[in-house]
């Protein structure tokens, strides 16, 4: 059995190491359950060991050095700095920090015409960091390192070419024109841009979050809205059931909606709402519909025909290597919002996707169409194995939840993706031991060609565990992203951990 040792990081001594082992990796090894809790608690034994982290959540050492250099050059006494890839992004962050904290905040150009930093009192730094996380409009560590070395300009002639290649690749996967594909420095930056477009159309309206989403999809609609109070800003339907569509229909009949956001399938429960029905409703009641198809792994589902906009985190399956963040928005020409969104994007869109990131992503994504079918097959087999085990209470996987809604959009040859979540029986007593015994890479991120898992609820919802549980997301949930390794090897890893935790 092949064991991909170069990227398998699960041992105690791997704590804090990048996954994969390279400077700009976007995952970090948190090998034991308690390391994940320690990270969330800010335990210096964990955070001090971290050589990197998921870049929207953890400032990479190169990025942190850039901020320190901005401070050294331009900060006034008592100020700290966070740098962003453009003036407009920095201004958005400054406005957010002012709105949330009332602090005195300013922006200034650092390093180049494009890179701007937000200067603020140290007490407001966490709020600016929340903007960085939720909106994903980040300055990546590759660019920070290059800027510190006196390079770091956004584009070279090579990167302009690579960006075009990526847009053509996304277009061919989505079945649209490359002219309708827009690239961003993260999946969240893509979604946040769509949200801003919708805000420009209907600034006073509420959005709909349909189904329990990836954490920042909801945070954007709560914290980046201008509508107060927050329950007027977004109506949230965590279960995404048919009866919830009836409720959306009632709302849409009574007021105009900002737009509806839905993941297909959803993270972390892999449910599939009835987007065909939502799509009909959006046409009848005139609101834009955004589908986040990240977990459909680029090749499995064809969702663009039922959406106005499809957003994808290219960080995940498209890249597959776990060493670059990126996102895309795709517009559907056949839908009624196309012209309006296109016109607004001409003003709202800025190319802030760093050229060297594009070069890495272009290389990584060449084999996406070959990688994913193998991942589909491996995940299906591993889920089948786990679902039959008496120690397992639940396996959440698109073939096992809302299957008919998922299958309605299957492409020829498409499968159920590589992501699933698992909850053990007697979870409070068994989970930690099982997790610690599991000999696969353990850290944030998904969609890599190597298998990767994390205690997702702990990492994404640590400060709102009761809320997550009220939505059906167990705090003991383990999310697994299945890779391309030998399937027997994968199954043996899980079998071993199950044996270990029942000793």
Ligand X SMILES: Cc1ncc(COP(=O)(O)O)c(C=O)c1O
Minimal distance, residue 259 CB to ligand X, in Å: 16
Measured from the CB atom, the residue of 38 and 185 that comes closer to ligand X is 185
Closest listed residue to residue 129, CA positions, set 78, 67, 45, 75: 67
* Pair of tokens at residue 102: 């009332």
Closest listed residue to residue 61, CA positions, set 74, 49, 73: 49
* Pair of tokens at residue 223: 């914290």
Minimal distance, residue 324 CB to ligand X, in Å: 9
Minimal distance, residue 498 CB to ligand X, in Å: 26
Measured from the CB atom, the residue of 79 and 288 that comes closer to ligand X is 288
Q: Which residues bind ligand X (CB under 6 A)?
A: 56, 136, 186-188, 214, 263, 267, 292, 294-295, 313, 315, 325, 327
Measured from the CB atom, the residue of 38 and 140 that comes closer to ligand X is 140
CB-closest chain residue to ligand X: 187
C-alpha–C-alpha distance, residues 474 and 314, integer Å: 27
Measured from the CB atom, the residue of 105 and 260 that comes closer to ligand X is 260
* Pair of tokens at residue 186: 């993260």
Closest listed residue to residue 239, CA positions, set 210, 259, 201: 210
Minimal distance, residue 314 CB to ligand X, in Å: 7
Measured from the CB atom, the residue of 35 and 292 that comes closer to ligand X is 292
Measured from the CB atom, the residue of 110 and 375 that comes closer to ligand X is 375
Minimal distance, residue 162 CB to ligand X, in Å: 18
The CA radius of gyration of the chain, in Å to the nearest whole number, is 22
Q: How far is CA 459 from the centre of its chain?
A: 13
* Pair of tokens at residue 222: 């709560």
Measured from the CB atom, the residue of 220 and 227 that comes closer to ligand X is 220
Q: Which CB contacts under 8 angstroms, 24+ apart, belong to 426-433? A: 427/393, 427/474, 427/476, 428/476, 430/391, 430/501, 430/502, 431/33, 431/455, 431/476, 431/478, 432/32, 432/33, 432/34, 433/500, 433/501
* Pair of tokens at residue 220: 């954007």
C-alpha–C-alpha distance, residues 302 and 314, integer Å: 16
Residue 433 CB neighbour total at 10 angstroms: 16
C-alpha–C-alpha distance, residues 309 and 198, integer Å: 11
C-alpha–C-alpha distance, residues 387 and 426, integer Å: 15
Minimal distance, residue 247 CB to ligand X, in Å: 23
Measured from the CB atom, the residue of 70 and 191 that comes closer to ligand X is 191
C-alpha–C-alpha distance, residues 288 and 293, integer Å: 16
Question: Which residues, 6 or more positions from 116, have their beta carbon under 8 angstroms from its beta carbon?
Answer: 83, 84, 86, 87, 89, 90, 91, 107, 108, 109, 110
Minimal distance, residue 301 CB to ligand X, in Å: 13
* Beta-carbon-side half-sphere exposure of residue 162 (alpha carbons within 13 Å): 20
Measured from the CB atom, the residue of 190 and 248 that comes closer to ligand X is 190
Minimal distance, residue 186 CB to ligand X, in Å: 3
Measured from the CB atom, the residue of 143 and 487 that comes closer to ligand X is 143
Minimal distance, residue 266 CB to ligand X, in Å: 7
Measured from the CB atom, the residue of 81 and 326 that comes closer to ligand X is 326
Measured from the CB atom, the residue of 252 and 482 that comes closer to ligand X is 482
Burial tier of 466 (Cβ tally within 10 Å: 0-12, 13-18, 19+): exposed
Minimal distance, residue 74 CB to ligand X, in Å: 28
Question: Which residues, 6 or more positions from 250, have their beta carbon under 8 angstroms from its beta carbon?
Answer: none
Closest listed residue to residue 482, CA positions, set 372, 403, 326, 364: 372
Minimal distance, residue 500 CB to ligand X, in Å: 29
Minimal distance, residue 178 CB to ligand X, in Å: 20
């Amino acid at each position: 059995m092949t064991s991909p040792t170069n990227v398998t990081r699960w041992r105690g001594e791997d704590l804090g190491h990048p996954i994969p082992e390279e400077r700009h990796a976007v995952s970090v090894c948190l090998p034991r359950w308690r390391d994940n809790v320690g990270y969330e608690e800010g335990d210096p034994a964990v955070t001090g060991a971290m050589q990197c982290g998921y870049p929207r959540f953890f400032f990479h050492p190169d990025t942190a050095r850039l901020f320190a250099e901005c401070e050294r050059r331009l900060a006034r006494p008592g100020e700290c700095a966070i740098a962003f890839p453009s003036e407009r992004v920095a201004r958005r962050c400054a406005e957010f920090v002012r709105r949330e904290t009332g602090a005195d905040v300013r922006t200034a150009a650092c390093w180049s015409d494009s890179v701007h930093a937000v200067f603020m009192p140290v007490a407001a730094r966490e709020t600016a960091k929340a903007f960085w996380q939720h909106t994903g409009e980040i300055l990546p560590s590759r660019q920070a390192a290059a800027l510190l070395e006196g390079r770091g300009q956004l584009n070279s002639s090579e990167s302009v070419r690579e960006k075009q290649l990526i847009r053509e690749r996304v277009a061919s996967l989505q079945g649209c024109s490359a002219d309708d594909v827009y690239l961003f420095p993260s999946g969240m930056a893509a979604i946040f841009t769509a949200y801003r477009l919708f805000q420009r159309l209907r600034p006073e309206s509420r959005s709909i979050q349909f189904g329990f989403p990836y954490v920042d999809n909801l945070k954007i609609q709560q914290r980046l809205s201008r509508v107060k109070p927050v329950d007027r800003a977004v109506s949230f339907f965590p279960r995404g059931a048919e009866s919830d569509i009836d409720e959306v229909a009632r709302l849409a009949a009574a007021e105009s909606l900002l737009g509806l956001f839905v993941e297909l399938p959803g993270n972390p429960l892999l449910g599939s709402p009835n987007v065909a029905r939502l799509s009909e409703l959006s046409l009848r009641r005139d609101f834009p519909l955004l589908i986040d198809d990240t977990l459909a792994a680029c090749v499995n589902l064809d969702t663009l025909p039922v959406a106005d906009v499809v957003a994808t985190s290219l960080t995940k399956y498209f890249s597959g290597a776990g060493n670059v963040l990126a996102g895309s928005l795709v517009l559907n020409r056949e839908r009624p919002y196309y012209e309006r969104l296109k016109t607004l994007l001409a003003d709202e869109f800025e190319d802030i996707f760093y050229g060297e990131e594009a070069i890495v992503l272009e290389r990584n994504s060449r084999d996406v169409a070959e990688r994913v079918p193998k991942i589909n097959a491996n995940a299906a087999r591993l889920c089948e194995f786990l679902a039959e085990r008496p120690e397992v209470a639940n396996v959440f996987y698109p073939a096992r939840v809302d299957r008919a809604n998922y299958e309605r959009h299957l492409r020829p040859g498409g499968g159920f993706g590589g992501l699933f979540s698992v909850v053990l029986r007697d979870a409070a007593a068994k989970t930690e031991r099982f997790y610690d015994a599991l000999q696969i890479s353990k850290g944030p991120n998904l969609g890599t060609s190597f298998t990767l898992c994390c205690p997702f609820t702990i990492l994404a919802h640590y400060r709102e565990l009761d809320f997550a549980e009220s939505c059906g997301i167990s705090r003991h949930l383990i999310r697994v992203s299945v890779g391309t390794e030998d399937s027997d090897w994968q199954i043996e890893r899980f079998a071993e951990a199950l044996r270990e935790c029942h000793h």
